Each structure stands twice: as structure tokens, then as C-alpha cells.
């Protein structure tokens, strides 16, 4: 597993971004798209259909997207995680602390709900009051799943040949790695 301060000695072509809810996966994917110009897909947009119903075509859509030679996607959803990891050459692991992740998740959720921001396929954030009644409300989900990736991500390199995992422990480290990627892409 690599660190942010290590030189990028390979040319990332298929990049998956892992992290808990609120870590900043989508934001990082957007930055990666700007730097690389690679196609990007938001996994939640493939998964969620109208009325927060999982889409039947999800697995096929992920399979089709990751069959391309270059791409950027989040590494989430256990059902497709092995497919994504097997096709990726780089996993960026946003291993930030729980306080930062939860602060970001709560701020994002509040902002989206207050503004009525459409997320995917007509869905909007659930009413904030549902945090008390809905076990799967995004804030409760984020808290409950905050440590689920810690035992998984460190095993990916040994399980998937040719995969490089980069552990990013702070937004500052992520920014540093992005600068290194930008330099690498210009060579």
C-alpha cells in the first residue's frame, strides 16, 4: 500500500475511489476527471432508480462502464466491489477520521435537504426527522458503516493482481497526491 508522499511510478488509467459516507469520494472523482479527462460514473446514480428503488440493471451497467480502457468510479456496493477492484489499476482510499467524515456527511445532507437538491433519478434526501425512525437514514448509515472498509481495503492488493492502493489519511494528503497525478499525466 502506498502513501500520498510516494512518487507515482505508474500511469493510472482505471481509478476507483474508496471511503466511507461523507469522506469525499464524489468530490475526488470530479477532481480526477478534471485532471485526467477520463470518463467518470457516479455509482449511486447507477444504483438508485426513482423512489430510492435499486435499479435492476446496476450490475450490468457497472460491468459495461468498467470494461472501458480508462475510467473513474467510486468503490462501494459490496455486490460490484470485486468487479471494480479486478479491473482497476488504482484504488485511492480516503481513510479520514470519523469526526471529519461525519461533519461532512451531516453538512452535505442538511444542505441537500434544505435546498431540495435532486440526487439521482428524481430522488431527494429524506426528511431530517427520519434520522430517528429510519435505520438506513444516510446519517445513521454513515455512522454504522464508518469502519467497514478498514479490514477490506488493505487486502485488495494481494487479492487483485496489478492493483495499487494509495492510502490518503487527510485532505492535505489527497491534495498532494492529486498534484503528483497532475505532474505524472503531463509527462
> Per residue in 111-150, pLDDT tens?
999 999 999 999 999 898 999 999 989 999 999 999 999 9
pLDDT value of residue 13: 97
pLDDT tens digits, one per residue of 25-77: 999 999 999 999 999 999 999 999 999 999 999 999 999 999 999 999 999 99
For the question of whether the overall pTM of this predicted structure is more than 0.85, the answer is: yes
Would you give the distance in Å from CA 7 to the centre of its chain?
Answer: 22
138 vs 127: CA distance, rounded Å:
11
pLDDT value of residue 56: 97
Contact at 8 Å (CB) between 37 and 30?
Answer: no
| Terminal-to-terminal C-alpha distance of the chain | 24
53 φ/ψ angles, rounded to the nearest 5 degrees: -100, 130
pLDDT value of residue 99: 96
pLDDT value of residue 185: 86
Give me the sign of the Cα torsion angle 15, 44, 78, 128.
positive
Other Cβ atoms less than 10 A from the Cβ of 170: the count is 14
Other Cβ atoms less than 10 A from the Cβ of 95: the count is 19
Would you give the distance in Å from CA 100 to the centre of its chain?
Answer: 16
Amino acid at each position: 500500500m502506498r502513501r500520498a508522499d510516494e512518487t507515482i511510478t505508474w500511469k493510472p488509467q482505471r481509478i476507483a475511489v474508496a471511503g466511507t459516507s461523507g469522506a469525499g469520494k464524489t468530490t475526488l472523482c470530479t477532481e480526477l476527471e478534471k485532471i485526467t479527462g477520463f470518463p467518470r460514473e457516479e455509482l449511486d446514480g447507477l444504483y438508485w432508480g426513482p423512489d430510492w428503488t435499486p435499479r435492476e440493471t446496476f450490475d450490468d451497467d457497472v460491468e459495461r462502464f468498467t470494461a472501458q480502457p480508462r475510467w473513474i468510479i467510486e468503490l462501494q456496493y459490496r455486490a460490484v466491489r470485486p468487479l471494480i477492484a479486478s479491473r482497476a489499476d488504482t484504488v485511492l482510499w480516503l481513510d479520514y477520521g470519523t469526526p471529519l467524515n461525519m461533519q461532512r456527511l451531516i453538512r452535505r445532507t442538511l444542505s441537500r435537504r434544505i435546498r431540495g437538491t435532486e440526487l439521482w433519478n428524481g430522488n431527494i434526501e429524506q426528511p431530517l426527522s427520519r434520522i430517528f425512525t429510519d435505520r438506513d437514514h444516510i446519517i445513521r448509515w454513515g455512522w454504522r458503516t464508518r469502519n467497514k472498509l478498514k479490514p477490506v481495503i488493505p487486502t485488495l492488493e494481494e487479492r487483485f493482481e496489478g492493483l495499487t492502493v494509495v492510502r490518503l489519511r487527510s485532505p492535505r494528503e489527497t491534495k498532494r497526491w492529486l498534484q503528483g497525478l497532475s505532474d505524472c499525466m503531463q509527462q
